Amino acid sequence: MKLELGFIKINDVQFSNECAVKDGILYVNPEEVKEYVYDYDDVKQFVKSISFDIAKPGESVRITPVKDVIEPRCKVEGPGVIFPGVMNHKVDTVGSGRTHVLKGAAVVTAGKIVGFQEGLIDMTGPGAQYTPFSKTLNIVMVCEPVEGTKQHDYERAVRFAGLRAAGFIGQIGKNVEPDEIKTYETLGIKEGIEKYPNLPRVGYVHMLQTQGLLHDTYVYGVDAKRIVATLINPTETMDGAILSGNCVSACDKNTTYHHLNNPVVAELFEEHGKTINYVCNIITNENVYLADKQRGSDWAAKLAKLLDLDAVIVSEEGFGNPDADLIMNCTKQEKQGIKTVLVTDEYAGQDGKSQGLADSDPLADAVVSGGNANMPVVLPPMDKIIGMTDYVDVCSGGHAGSLRPDGSIEAELQIITGATNEMGFNCMSAR
Amino acid sequence: MVKEIERVGIPVVHMCTITPISLTVGANRIIPTIAIPYPLGNPALPHDEEYALRYKLVSAAIKAFSVDIDKQTVFEV
Amino acid sequence: MAYRVVHYINQFFANVGGEEMAHIAPELREGKVGPGMAFETAWKGEAVIVNTIVCGDSYFAEHEKEAKEQVIAWVKEINPDMFIAGPAFNAGRYGYACANIALEVKTQLGIPVLTGMYEENPGADLKDKILITPTANSAAGMRKAAPTMAKLALKLMKGEALGASCEEGYMPNGIRVNFFEKERGAKRAVKMLLNKINGKAFTTEFPMPNFDRVEPGKAIPDMSKVLLGLATSGGIVPKGNPDHIEASSASHYGEYDIEGWDRLTPEGWETAHGGYDPVYANEDPNRVLPVDVLRQMEREHKIGKLHRYFYTTVGNGTAVASSRKFAEEYAQKMLKAGVQACIMTST
Amino acid sequence: MKSPNRIRIVTNNPLVKQILSDWYTVEYYEDATYRDILVKVRDMVYNGYELFTHPMAGSVKPNETMYKSIVVGTDQKGTDIDHCKLMMNALITCDKFKPTGVQYSDYHYKDFQLIDYTLLCGALDFDAIAGLSKANM
């Protein structure tokens, strides 16, 4: 499957009466976006108000509580739509043809869903270095629920609102000439073996967080709790085949932006045809039921064997029980002779002295770490808050008094969106 | 806890009912015992038989000290 | 004013002599000697070596207590900002001396310490307790080791926070520190995978916990002379639980005297354990702690003597770190009392 | 929905008790802490009861939420060493989080209950939303 990504470089975002891209500036009319977002029952019914704001790199701005970050993209050629299976129920297989990307821009959804809230993005200061979203031009949507809305209805409404906004804004780039076009292509099994007879066959075992409210992931609109491990073309993920429905533990949850820009996919493509033959992705879930964990890792191993893979990268999402899935995915692959590298993060305690993973095995001898999520950080006050800081104390990584009277925050790294990403999105690590 | 004692150079025999746990916590000489609430006894037995059972188990432990081992070993009683 | 450093080296690096001079007792010299020069060059006047202690490796090995006492006395008197030992490279006894004297200075005097050696040097066993800079396996590695150690020492003297082990140049010491790599994680993963596929060397960023195993203790052929210790996680305590050992998540352990007890009577003893049905243990505490049969074995000379105290914890829900700490404490007590073997019972 | 036969839910979450008692055997401990539930289940697993759900479900940390629901078997089938290890590791993990000292309000408790409930429902293939509407939550 072959996909062209056309990158339209966005250097600035401004609110305007029109929607357009001119000279690298993205003009967005928030009223138009709002109208489109609201033109959907699930949103209309549960979202009382949406306010828009813009946060740019270097500004003294703090966004919290962050739910999801989404990159605006649109399908230009080829079947399907961005985020298949979600909006208009179209489930055509995506990942081929051409897709335009408004590179440098992002839609950030924020707002309260439950009583404890997660996720913070600082656009400047010491916190900014930990989150990739301090470097994007963020169009922030703060959502307010209709009185009496149930948490799960509201979670879905905010999720859809963000996807609709990103989809709408993505469309602005449909007829814009991209600054750069990159082509990604993986081959069928036979074709790949013929074309790259001497290259090792490499796959990517992509673990998805699938546990419950604020802990879910969707594949073509399907709640991934209910899938068995399956195959997906890497290019499908670039068209939004995988969506985030989770935000608890902000530091190591994969936002939709991460899924669209999956760094493992990108880096494997970099080597594809040179040192490796990148065959495909295997998606598997992280369920709570132990038999599901066993089945998921068994199937991922079975599929890898079926594809005659020589090696896989395994990425994790979340804290605690996914460590069990990670280790099972490692040992089952290794035991059938498939070499593995794992990507994870650590909870080594504030002093860095504790055992960082809840499970371990000597076969896991090649691990990349996204850092210790328990590391204490102090975030100075910002001039402007988008959203509300009322929930800082009750965030993962917060404690009583985390939010200080002067507006500064003392907390663990856990609180920062994407800080210890377990797909290897960041440079941070630990030793 | 067994490891901490053995580490200072005092050999330990661990007498416990759930031997897999004993193996996990790193005991080297393990004597399996009767049941969680009464590892070294059996209330169903008459007193003297219960005592004999306990004597047998502890004898096995004492004997285990005299056996040279190079890996974790669960001794038969 | 420059920071003041005391440097510890062996007879060889002090140019006193090789193996034939390894017996020399510690001597205190003014200023820098031998390898100290390289540190001072790197410090550019920010720190100076005020004294160098020279000690023979054999002397340290054979008279460890005296050597430590002498060095501690001198260092205490000089009161420097920093104590550096070595580097010892691959010299085993020198590495042992460097690591142990550094640890002694750190614990006795609270002064920052640093040493350096080859990773396989036996002295490197202490890398979790003191900072050790990894070096090459021969003195030719001094050129590379000196600037790393000098920089690290200066940071310690200034009281600055240390970065990750791989950035600062110390052996991983079990404390995980965040830092920024040059490449993102996914790229590092792909590189690691390529090395693994191609059979090349790679280093994991997260070493799995070494499944901490202790070598089995040596067999004791003759138990008839042995002082036998007794410990339990079954929570046996004197009746009424005088120390209030918690039924679960215990915050302390018990040490109880069984001198004069021929068996544990239900009138005198009970269990504090909340994790199992206590009826059977309360009915006959010997079912958990077999004092009765051990007394008989004492009389039969199957064992030498039962240790006067036994140690008790409640396995039920006690934090793993606490139970480890408890056991470390009472293991030391048993060792001091001359206990030669120990039976541990668990419910 | 997974079969309720031969399984029971060990929990301190009143929402779980309220909704799932109609379908499943719920062993409810009102005053137990998160850690108490882990310890109870660990001891059950040591005693040979089968473990069905991972003790560390969800990413809400052990020092934040006070609610924990775990599914175990009703029959003693023999001790499973892997399940013992899971329970031991869960306790080790639990112990490394420092208390946050936060005074939670009623709605926090309610939301923590809800999250624990949906995690459990996810494991049991139980329709969480239907359960909630039936309980008129």
Q: Which of A42, A46, A116 to mutate to test the interface with D (most CBs of D within 10 A)?
A: A116
**CATH (domain of C9):** 3.40.50.2300
Q: What is the mean pLDDT of residues D109-128?
A: 93
Q: Do D71 and A291 touch (CB under 8 A)?
A: no
Band (pLDDT 50/70/90 cuts) for residue A294 is: very high
**pLDDT tens per residue across span C79-106:** 999 999 999 999 999 999 999 999 999 9
Are B18 and D85 a contacting pair at CB < 8 A? no
Q: What is the pLDDT of residue D136?
A: 59
- The backbone torsions φ and ψ at residue A386, rounded to the nearest 5 degrees and listed phi first, read -105, 120
CB within 8 Å of C315: residues ≥ 6 apart: C233, C234, C235, C273, C275, C323, C346, C347
- When the pLDDT of each residue in chain A is averaged and rounded to a whole number, the result is 95
**Proportion of chain A above pLDDT 90, given as a percent:** 85
Number of domains in chain C: 2
Residue B24: its pLDDT value, please?
75
Residues A157-182: tens digit of each pLDDT: 999 999 999 999 999 999 999 999 99
C47-79 residue pLDDT tens: 999 999 999 999 999 999 999 999 999 999 999
Check whether residue C159 and residue C12 sit in a common domain: yes
Range of the domain at D87: 7-134
Mean pLDDT check: name the lowest of A126-140, C10-24, C272-286. Answer: C272-286
Mean pLDDT, chain C, rounded, equals 92
Domain that residue B47 falls in: 2-74
Q: Which residues of A touch C196 (CB under 8 A)?
A: 311, 339, 341, 366
> Is there a contact between A332 and A296 (Cβ–Cβ < 8 Å)?
no
Q: What does the block give as tokens for B52?
A: 């004999």
Q: Are residues D79 and B18, on separate chains, in Cβ contact within 8 Å?
A: yes
Does the pLDDT at position C266 exceed 90? yes
Residue D137 has pLDDT above 60, yes or no: no
Q: Which two tokens stand for residue B20?
A: 């897999």
The partner residues of A55 in beta bridges, in order of sequence, read: A138
Q: Which residue in D49, D77, D79, D92 has the most chain B C-beta atoms within 10 A of its own C-beta, making it the best mutation to test that interface?
A: D79
User: Which of A274, A308, A341 would best serve as a mutation to test chain C binding (most C beta carbons within 10 A)?
Assistant: A341
Of C155, C6, C152, C144, residue with least CA distance to C76: C6
| Touch test A–C: 3 Cβ pairs or more under 8 Å | yes
pLDDT of amino acid C339: 96
Range of the domain at C280: 223-345
Is D1 domain-assigned? no
pLDDT at C320 over 70: no
What tokens does A159 get?
């999720």
Per-residue confidence at C210, pLDDT binned at 50, 70, 90?
Answer: low
Instruction: Work out the pLDDT band at C248, boundaries 50, 70, 90.
Output: low
Q: Chains meeting D at 3+ CB pairs closer than 8 A?
A: A, B, C
Does residue B45 belong to the interface with chain C, where contact is any CB pair within 8 Å? no
Beta-strand ranges (E) seen in C190-267 are 227-232, 236-238, 254-257
Task: Determine how β-strand C47-55 pairs with β-strand C3-10.
Answer: parallel
Residue C211: what pLDDT? 62
Strand, coil or helix: D88: helix
Q: How many structural domains comprise chain D?
A: 1
C175 touches chain A (CB under 8 A): yes
Q: Which residue of C has its CA nearest to D44?
A: C275
Percent of chain D with pLDDT over 90: 55
Q: What is the pLDDT of residue B77?
A: 81
| Domain boundaries of chain A, sorted by first residue | 2-415
For D32-68, write each residue's pLDDT tens digit.
Answer: 999 999 989 988 888 889 999 999 988 888 888 999 9
Q: D69 to chain A nearest CA, in Å?
A: 11
In the complex, which subunits touch A with 3 or more CB pairs below 8 angstroms? C, D
C189 within 8 A of A267, measured Cβ to Cβ = yes
What distance in Å separates residue C224's CA from the closest CA in chain B? Answer: 10
The CA distance from D137 to D133, in Å, is 6
| Shortest CA distance from A394: residue in chain D | D102
C218 neighbourhood in chain B, CB within 8 Å: 11, 68
List pLDDT tens digits, range A136-150: 999 999 999 999 898
Look at residue C322 in the predicted model and tell me its pLDDT.
75
Q: Is residue B18 scored above 80 in pLDDT?
A: no
The C-alpha of A217 sits at a distance from chain C's nearest C-alpha, in angstroms, of 21
Tell me: pLDDT of A187 over 80: yes
Residue C114, pLDDT above cutoff 90: yes
**pLDDT score at A42:** 87
Position with higher pLDDT, C212 vs A360? A360
Size of interface B-C (CB pairs under 8 A): 165
Q: Which residue of D has its CA nearest to C322?
A: D95
The reply to whether C7 and C140 lie within a common domain is: yes
A264–C186: do the CB atoms touch at under 8 Å? yes
Which residues in C lie closer than 8 A to residue A270 (C-beta atoms)?
187, 190
Q: What confidence tier does A116 reach under pLDDT thresholds 50, 70, 90?
A: confident
How close, in Å, is residue D83 to chain C by CA atoms? 16
The letter for the amino acid at A67 is K
Do C129 and C15 sit in the same domain of this protein?
yes
Most C CBs within 10 Å: which of B55, B59, B63, B65, as the mutation test of the C interface? B65
Among chain B residues, CA nearest to D43:
B36
> Does the structure show a pLDDT above 60 at C238?
yes
Report pLDDT digits (tens) over A234-291. Answer: 999 999 999 999 888 899 999 999 999 999 999 999 999 999 999 999 999 999 999 9
Closest CA to B26 of C275, D85, A359: D85
Taking the C-alpha atoms of residue C42 and residue C34, their distance in angstroms, rounded to an integer, is 14
User: Mean pLDDT throughout D125-136?
Assistant: 84
User: Is D93 an interface residue toward A (CB < 8 Å)?
Assistant: yes
The DSSP bridge pattern shows strands D7-11 and D69-76 to be antiparallel
Q: In chain B, which among 7-36 make CB contacts under 8 A with chain C?
A: 7-17, 21-22, 26-29, 33, 36
Residue C28 reports pLDDT greater than 60: yes
Which residues of A are known to be catalytic? 247
Which amino acid appears at position A119 of this protein?
Answer: G
Give yes or no for residue C335 having a pLDDT over 60. yes
Distance from CA of D81 to the nearest CA of B (A): 6
Asked if A421's CB is within 8 angstroms of C206's CB, the reply is: no
Pairing between strand C269-271 and C236-238?
antiparallel
What per-residue confidence (pLDDT) applies to A113?
85
Provide the pLDDT for residue D126: 93
Residues whose CB falls within 8 Å of the CB of residue C340, separated by 6 or more in sequence, listed in order: B10, B11, C220, C226, C227, C228
Residue A5 vs residue D102, higher pLDDT: A5
Closest chain A C-alpha to D111 CA, distance in angstroms: 6
pLDDT > 70 fraction of chain A, expressed in percent and rounded: 100
pLDDT at A372 over 90: yes
Mean pLDDT of A356-384: 94
pLDDT band, residue C316 (cuts 50/70/90): low
Tell me the pLDDT band of C212, cut-offs 50, 70 and 90. low
What ipTM score was computed for the predicted complex, to two decimals?
A: 0.91
Mean pLDDT in residue range C282-288: 95
**pLDDT at site C249:** 64
Which of C152, C168, C184 finishes a domain? C168
pLDDT number for residue C94: 95
- 């440079």: which residue's tokens? A427
Nearest CB neighbour to B5, from listed C222, C287, C327: C327
More confident of the two residues C147 and C273: C147
Q: Quick one: pLDDT band at residue A397, thresholds 50, 70, 90?
A: confident
Q: What is the average pLDDT across A402-408?
A: 92
Q: Is B1 on the interface with D (CB under 8 A)?
A: no
Chain C: give the shortest CA distance to residue D10, in Å.
16
- Is residue C198 in a domain? no
- Residue of B21, B22, B36 to mutate, testing the D interface (most D Cβ within 10 Å of its Cβ): B21
Closest CA to C302 of C267, C334, C333, C341: C341
What pLDDT is recorded for position C347? Answer: 79
Asked if residue C339 lies in contact with residue C228, where contact means CB atoms within 8 angstroms, the answer is yes
Residue A98 has pLDDT above 80, yes or no: yes
Pick from C18-22, C110-114, C179-183, D15-19: least confident: C18-22
Q: Please name the member of B10, B38, B54 whose beta carbon is closest to the beta carbon of C340.
A: B10
Share of chain C above pLDDT 70, in %: 95
pLDDT for A208 beyond 70: yes
**What pTM was computed for the model?**
0.86
Cβ atoms within 10 A of the Cβ of A295, count? 16
Chains A and B touch (3+ CB pairs under 8 A): no
Which element (helix H / strand E) includes C192? Answer: helix C185-197
Q: Which whole-number Å values give the CA distances from C88 to C22, C94, C134, C142, in the listed order?
A: 14, 6, 10, 10
Complete edge-to-edge strand list for the sheet that includes strand C227-232: B73-74, B29-32, B12-16, C341-345, C227-232, C305-312, C254-257
Touching subunits of C (3+ CB pairs, under 8 Å) are: A, B, D
Indicate yes or no: CB of A289 within 8 angstroms of CB of D71.
yes
Which band of pLDDT confidence, cut at 50, 70 and 90, is reported for residue A331?
very high
Residue D2 lies in a domain: no
